[in-house]
């Protein structure tokens, strides 16, 4: 798992640089792990002996451990943001099931929970709609400030610091915010990758190649560009494209990936 800027990688229990040198031994517990946005360490939801209870921790690259709190949930949990920059960790709970008759996967999101990375105090607990499939996909900005709830109803972007809705967009699948929170990478209702300027709700760029399918997107740390991973069968990953406020795409790499390749972190540093 790469850190956000791509210069270090977590490999088993070691943090390695590009030359393979060991830069840290954090000794992470079993559980969910996410790099912090300043690359100083990891937010961790560690498994405990009690079913449904997770130990919430922050562990530095060097292995210093801060026990924050415990989280109890009957739903699945995921680290949506880990931000010493803003001082918060954001967790999303959800559950899903597949309808045996239609074979369609359904999702019910539970809560969005923000935890103070210094004290472990609960800063925010925001429930999602209890209705199945009311929200299909959620994404949170790296600092935990912005939330987008994607569905086939209008997609809603909320500033969690104020609770105000800052944008209502057409139906889409959100992928990622830009690092500065001004842009949203998404997949439109036709399946094409697009980049949206939130202040104006304008589409700055849309992939016009009907054979290409966006898989995921990653924000440029400290910048305002977003990289899209694009699939074009039979390859699982065809190319990486970066797009910023100008709306002009830049192809980082193409036709150089092995099948089932997965990239974490910002692509231009790879």
How does pLDDT run across 46-83, given as a tens digit for each residue? 999 999 999 999 999 999 999 999 999 999 999 999 99
Q: Strands 88-98, 22-24: parallel, antiparallel or unpaired by DSSP?
A: unpaired
pLDDT band at 256 (very low <50, low <70, confident <90, very high): low
**What pLDDT sits at residue 60?**
95
**What pLDDT sits at residue 253?**
86
Q: Look at residue 98 and give its three-state secondary structure.
A: strand
Residue partners of 12: CB distance under 8 A and separation at least 6:
none
pLDDT band at 266 (very low <50, low <70, confident <90, very high): very low
pLDDT band at 183 (very low <50, low <70, confident <90, very high): very high
**What pLDDT sits at residue 131?**
64
pTM of the model: 0.87
Mean pLDDT of 197-219: 94
Check whether 133 has a pLDDT greater than 70: no
Q: What is the gyration radius of the CA atoms in the chain, in angstroms?
A: 19
What is the share, in percent, of the chain residues with pLDDT greater than 70? 92
How does pLDDT run across 75-122, given as a tens digit for each residue? 999 999 999 999 999 999 998 877 788 877 778 899 999 999 999 999
How does pLDDT run across 31-43, given as a tens digit for each residue? 999 999 999 999 9
**What pLDDT sits at residue 5?**
83
Check whether 267 has a pLDDT greater than 60: no
What is the share, in percent, of the chain residues with pLDDT greater than 90? 70
**What pLDDT sits at residue 270?**
35
Mean pLDDT of 255-266: 53
Share in percent of the chain as helix, strand, coil (round to 5)? 0, 55, 45
Check whether 238 has a pLDDT greater than 70: yes
- Of 19, 29, 28, nearest to 9 by C-alpha is 19
Summary count for the chain: helices (H), strands (E)? 0, 23
Mean residue pLDDT across the chain: 89
**What pLDDT sits at residue 18?**
85
Mean pLDDT of 200-214: 94
């Amino acid at each position: 798992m790469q850190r956000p800027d791509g210069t270090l990688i977590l490999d088993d229990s070691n943090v390695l640089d590009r030359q393979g040198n060991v830069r840290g031994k954090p000794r992470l517990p079993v559980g969910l792990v996410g790099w912090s946005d300043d690359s100083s360490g990891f937010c961790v939801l560690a498994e405990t002996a009690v079913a449904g209870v997770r130990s919430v921790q922050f562990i530095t690259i060097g292995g210093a451990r801060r026990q924050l709190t415990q989280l109890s949930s009957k739903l699945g949990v995921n680290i949506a943001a880990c931000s010493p920059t803003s001082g918060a960790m954001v967790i999303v709970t959800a559950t899903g099931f597949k309808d045996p008759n239609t074979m369609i996967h359904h999702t019910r999101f539970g809560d969005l929970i923000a935890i103070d990375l210094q004290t472990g105090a609960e800063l925010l607990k925001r429930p999602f709609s209890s209705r199945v499939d009311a929200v299909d996909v959620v994404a949170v900005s790296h600092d935990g400030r912005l939330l987008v709830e994607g569905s086939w109803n209008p997609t809603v972007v909320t500033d969690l610091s104020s609770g105000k809705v800052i944008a209502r967009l057409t139906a889409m699948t959100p992928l990622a915010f830009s690092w500065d929170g001004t842009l949203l990478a998404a997949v439109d209702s036709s399946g094409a990758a697009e980049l949206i300027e939130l202040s104006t709700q304008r589409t700055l760029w849309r992939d016009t190649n009907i054979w290409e399918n966006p898989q995921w997107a990653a924000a440029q740390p400290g910048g305002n560009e977003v990289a899209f991973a694009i699939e074009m069968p039979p390859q699982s990953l065809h190319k990486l494209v970066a797009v910023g406020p100008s709306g002009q795409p830049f192809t980082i790499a193409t036709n150089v990936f092995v099948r089932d390749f997965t990239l974490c972190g910002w692509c231009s540093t790879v």
